Amino acid sequence: MPYYLPSSTSGDHAIRGHVVTVTGDPFLATDVLVEHVDGLIIVEGGVITAVGPYDQTKHLLAPDAHVDHHPDGLITAGFIDTHVHYVQTGIIAAFGAQLIDWLNTYTFVAEQKFEDKAYADAVAKVFFDQLLANGTTTALTFAAVYPQSVDAFFEEATRRNMRMAGGKVMMDRNAPEHLLDTAQSSYDDSKALIEKWHGRGRNHYAVTPRFAPTSTPEQLAAASTLLAEHPTTLMHTHVSENLGEIAWVRSLFPEADGYLDVYDRAGLLRPGAVLAHGVHLTAHERLRVHETGSAVSHCPTSNLFLGSGLFHVHQAKNHAHPVKVGLGTDIGAGTSFSLLSTMNEAYKVAQLTQYPLDSIKMLYLATLGGAEALGLADRIGSIEVGKEADLVVLDKKATPLLEFRSGQVGSLEEQLFVLAVMGDDRVVASTYIAGDVAYSRDGH
């Protein structure tokens, strides 16, 4: 049986195995993939203090240091999910038509259950168990409108010592009455939650207007005020996911020059702003995302499931004005907690837009790219000295077919591609949080 443990930083210890990490943006630079076939990662107080070939690094170990050895494991930075709804865990694989119908039929019904704190606590545990089982060590998460749903999320994140971000959804129109707040109450509740959770341990608060159709201009202004008052918080919302949604936004905000401009006029675009989907952003809008330092979360499984469209990652990563892009599972319209499975779908979407998305770029999007999108690349996203030891150990022999296929590969890049296309939670052997084992597939 697998096991899940709250993580706690401990003394000098290390992880040994085939270390692979991306240290730069492969859309913009070359030679960013770093590999140590027999590598050693030394951890003190949850932070990486040394990394390199085992033979050249082992002398740095303390005499009594414990070394976890994964001789057949591929060790990468922990995966980063830049857009997910923990409160939609219970509606994965709910038959859907298009976005708005799916929201009304499933999402708004499910989220009303989170008024019950005990229910929120139970779902948060399932959610975090699934993150760890899939090698995800950081996620940017929507909670429900109820403050207690945020408390449940951050309490579980704190218990597990995970670097997590999330916030109370803000929506004061176009939703069931029981899910509505007001501009003032959303400001008051969010402010109290920021003061309670932001910067406590490894927690980050995200000011979270759901999307433009469910917020009045007054509520968007309140969100902007929160960001101005608490500049280290994140901002998390949706943009340009579905063509019908875009038309709806135009009708609600006729003075704006398109969907993105609604947020721009409200003062919500800035570094630390993560815009989920962005499937139908125009060239001018992508330029504006670049200029403001905002980021886009690419959610291919969700976009395919709801038929929303194909995200053009090569346009977003245009060398002239590149946008920060990470991957999002978008549970529950997304169909898997696995960022390996998400990479697989991102590859297929890229193929349909005539762009070959290679394995190094996919690994980047799931690790360092996500960290850059969240403004956390100084702490997480790659295996480098000074960064936190959030790691995942991948088993390239997890299934008989994968073991056979892995035996045929001729390069690291091919091995990474095979894992992305064939991999899922079965490939995740262990997940480390701050250097400690937080999940073990095999229960030891």
The predicted-structure confidence for 39-66, as pLDDT tens digits, reads as follows 999 999 999 999 999 999 999 999 889 9
Cα 39 to Cα 58: distance, rounded to the nearest angstrom: 9
In whole angstroms, what is the distance from residue 70 CA to residue 188 CA?
Answer: 49
Residues near 255 by beta carbon (within 8 Å), at least 6 away in sequence: none
Residue positions counted in the chain: 444
Q: What CATH architecture does domain 3-77+385-440 belong to?
A: Roll (2.30)
Place of tokens 């706690």: 8
The number of beta carbons lying within 10 Å of the beta carbon of residue 31 is 8
Do 142 and 208 touch, CB atoms closer than 8 A?
yes
- Is 362 a residue whose pLDDT tops 50? yes
Give me the pLDDT at residue 94, please: 84
Mean pLDDT of 180-202: 98
* Distance between CA atoms of residues 130 and 110, nearest Å: 19
Per-residue pLDDT, averaged over 170-188, amounts to 96
**Using 50, 70 and 90 to split pLDDT, how confident is the model at 9?**
very low
> What is the CA 409 to chain-centroid distance, rounded?
29
CATH 3.20.20.140 applies to domain 79-373: yes
The single residue listed with the structure tokens 């608490």 is 230
**For the residues 219-248, what does the mean pLDDT come to?**
97
Average pLDDT over residues 116-143: 98
pLDDT at 108: 85
Q: Quick one: pLDDT band at residue 93, thresholds 50, 70, 90?
A: confident
Task: Read off the pLDDT of each residue in 167-175 and give the average, rounded to a whole number.
Answer: 97
Q: List 21's β-bridge partners, or say none.
A: 34
- pLDDT tens digits along 60-87: 999 889 999 999 999 999 999 999 999 9
Average pLDDT over residues 365-374: 98
Single-letter amino acid, residue 169:
V
Whole-number Å distance between alpha carbons of 354 and 89: 33
- 8 Å CB contact between 37 and 9: no
| Predicted confidence (pLDDT) per residue in 411-433, tens digit | 999 999 999 999 999 999 999 99
3-state SS of the chain? CCEECCCCCCCCEEEEEEEEEECCCCCCCCCCEEEEEEEEEEEECCEEEEEEEHHHHHHHCCCCCEEEEEEEEEEEECEEEEEEEHHHHHHCCCCCCCHHHHHHHHHHHHHHHHHCHHHHHHHHHHHHHHHHHCCEEEEEEECCCCHHHHHHHHHHHHHHCCCEEEECEECCCCCCHHHCCCHHHHHHHHHHHHHHHCCCCCEEEEEEECCHHHCCHHHHHHHHHHHHHCCCCEEEEEECCCHHHHHHHHHHCCCCCCHHHHHHHHCCCCCCEEEEECCCCCHHHHHHHHHHCCEEEECHHHHHHCCCCCCCHHHHCCCCCCCEEEECCCCCCCCCCCHHHHHHHHHHHHHHCCCCCCHHHHHHHHCHHHHHHCCCCCCCCCCCCCCECCEEEEECCCCHHHHHHHCCCCCHHHHHHHHHHHCCHHHEEEEEECCEEEEECCCC
Lowest mean pLDDT among 5-19, 118-132, 298-312, 382-396: 5-19
Distance between CA 134 and CA 336 in Å, rounded? Answer: 9
**Domain assignments of the chain as residue spans, ordered by start:** 3-77+385-440, 79-373
pLDDT of residue 7: 52
Instruction: State the pLDDT confidence band at 6, using cuts at 50, 70 and 90.
Output: low
Asked if residue 192 has pLDDT above 60, the reply is: yes
Q: What is the CA angle 371-33-344, rounded to 5?
A: 65
Average pLDDT of the residues in 394-404: 97
Percent of all residues in the chain with a pLDDT value above 70, rounded to a whole number: 97
Contact yes or no for 139/165 (Cβ under 8 A): yes
pLDDT score, position 102: 76
Indicate whether 89 pLDDT > 50.
yes
Confidence of residue 152 (pLDDT cuts 50, 70, 90): very high
Give the burial class of 322: count Cβ atoms within 10 A of its Cβ; 0-12 exposed, 13-18 middle, 19 or more buried. middle
